Amino acid sequence: MTRTFKVLSALLSYPTADMQAAIPAFSEAIDREALLPAAIRRQLDLLLNEIATGDLYDLQERYVLLFDRTRSLSLHLFEHVHGESRDRGQAMIDLKALYENCGLEIDAAELPDFVPLFLEFLSTRPRPEAYDLLGQPAHVLAALAERLRKRQSTYEAVFRALVQLAAAQPKADVVSALLAEPDPDANDLAALDAAWEDEPVSFGPNAGNSCRESLIEKIRAGRRPAPGVAQAPSRPDIARP
């Protein structure tokens, strides 16, 4: 198991008192594996310290403003590639099948492209395989890092770490195309309404819920235990352009 992926998964989950208490263990796990360059490790320390010492309600409000209210910072990978097109549904099915082939059963309320869930899955895979899979959505991760940098958010460090670990580095032109998409401020309510107005198509038994409602449910789901591994997976494309 690669515990660095487990830590990064947890850091992208909704802040809780349990997460705050676990920050020393997170830091120790990252240092023990020593997979990240010193500069990125220092960036992560800023986020770790903020979570450990910050007011929990302030941390939760910040998380909601970034990842719940801002579509361009969605923690669902396929949102940035397929939007609400039919291709997104097939991509979800393929990724869910990959998880299941490896012994990971996900809750019906979870979408398989939720970044914390994807990282927990990677934590169970051999590192070369995990790095290869992580390279497929590297352009999305790089764009998220840049949008968070623009907001001076310490969450940027998580995405810089993921891009660093990926086997394939993102292509500049693909990242630029993603960054050209609308990126409204969370406090600009009119722009946010416009970004979400074409809302859509949900999949599965809860299709009556809006995508936004579903997104909030997924983020609140919290951390999951590491799954077991059954067999080597087939490799569908994950968020390739």
* Positions of the chain with pLDDT under 70: 82-89, 108, 186-241
> Has residue 14 been placed in a domain?
yes
Residue 188 lies in a domain: yes
Q: Is residue 112 part of a domain?
A: yes
How does pLDDT run across 121-172, given as a tens digit for each residue?
A: 999 999 999 999 999 999 999 999 999 999 999 999 999 999 999 999 999 9
Domain assignment present for residue 100? The answer is: yes
Express each pLDDT in 96-110 by its tens digit: 888 888 888 877 678
Does residue 44 belong to any structural domain of this protein? yes
> What is the residue whose two structure tokens read 């097939």?
90
CB atoms < 10 A from the CB of 96, how many? Answer: 18
As given in the structure block, the two tokens for residue 231 are 């067999």
Q: Is residue 234 part of a domain?
A: no
Q: Which 3 state secondary structure label does DSSP give 185? A: coil
| Rounded Cα distance, 166 and 231, in Å | 22
Cα separation, 116 vs 230, in Å, equals 21
User: What is the number of domains present in the chain?
Assistant: 1
**Helix ranges restricted to H, 73-210:** 86-101, 115-123, 127-135, 138-150, 156-165, 172-179, 189-196
Does residue 229 sit within a domain? no
In this prediction the pTM is: 0.77
Q: Which domain holds residue 189?
A: 3-220
Please report whether residue 107 resides in a domain: yes
